[in-house]
Amino acid sequence: MSSRPAAGGGRWVEVDPARVARWVEGLTDRHGPPTTTVQGYGLLLAAPDGATAELHTPPGAPASADVPGFVAAAGAPRRLGLLLARKGAVAVGVADGPDLIVSKVDTRYVQGRTAAGGWSQQRFARRRDNQAKAALGDAAELAVRLLLPEAATLAALVCGGDRRAVDGVLADRRLAPLAALRADRLLDVPEPRHTVLVGAVAAARAVRILVRDPDRD
């Protein structure tokens, strides 16, 4: 389980689907039995002492009206598409439950920024832009080849890395069926590698919970 501060207060925790029921039990032990309210993102648990926990439905899982249903839906096997892109690197994959069954990583050189000025700087900038466009084109081709044939079987497409790079890949009209499956969640990942793609499967399936502790005088 990972935890990080949330903008506006509270903290985000990411919990493996198999551990959500135990996590809710821990919340109950610490703060008292919560009331459950259905929200657009999932479920809101509000404890008697003022503590709250927002359980966000993971990508591809159906909405639920109560905690048992949420736990069952979050842990149920489903196929997810993965698209990770950052600078000149891209990784695509298909996960069946927790298992990565299709994967491919590709890297294309994109020149970094230069401190040179004037005419030289403009020339380097044009070269860098051309390299970046070529990298996005290669990434789109990879998605067309590996992900597009699986689109009808996917519950969601989970993306990660640089949002602009991901947007650039999915701007390819051929990938419209995949873009329609794109989840709101954007995974924060380093430059895509196979090990990063493997780790992204667990991150895509994790239940994100926004926890706010009760105010103390």
- The structural domains of the chain, ordered by start, are 2-77+206-212 (no CATH), 80-203 (3.30.420.60)
Counting every residue, how long is the chain?
217
Confidence (pLDDT) at 7: 86
Read off the amino acid at residue 62: P
Token pair of 90 as six digits: 């891209």
Report phi then psi at 196, rounded to 5: -65, -40
- Furthest-apart CA pair in the chain: how many Å? 67
Confidence (pLDDT) at 207: 97
Question: DSSP character for 74?
Answer: H
Read off the amino acid at residue 112: G
Token pair of 52 as six digits: 């709250």
Confidence (pLDDT) at 122: 60
The answer to whether residues 88 and 132 touch, using CB atoms and an 8 Å cutoff, is yes
Determine the Cα–Cα distance for residues 94 and 96; give it in Å rounded to an integer. 7
Confidence (pLDDT) at 137: 74
Confidence (pLDDT) at 135: 62
Confidence (pLDDT) at 32: 96
Nearest to 185 by CA among 61, 49, 47, 66: 61
- List the pLDDT tens digit at each of the 217 positions of the chain: 777 888 888 999 999 999 999 999 999 999 999 999 999 999 999 999 999 999 999 999 999 999 999 999 999 999 999 999 987 789 999 999 999 999 999 875 444 554 454 445 665 555 555 555 656 778 899 999 999 999 999 999 999 999 999 999 999 999 999 999 999 999 999 999 999 999 999 999 999 999 999 875 4
Confidence (pLDDT) at 73: 97
Determine the Cα–Cα distance for residues 67 and 197; give it in Å rounded to an integer. 30
How many other CB atoms are there within 10 angstroms of residue 120's CB atom?
Answer: 10
Place of tokens 């990879």: 142
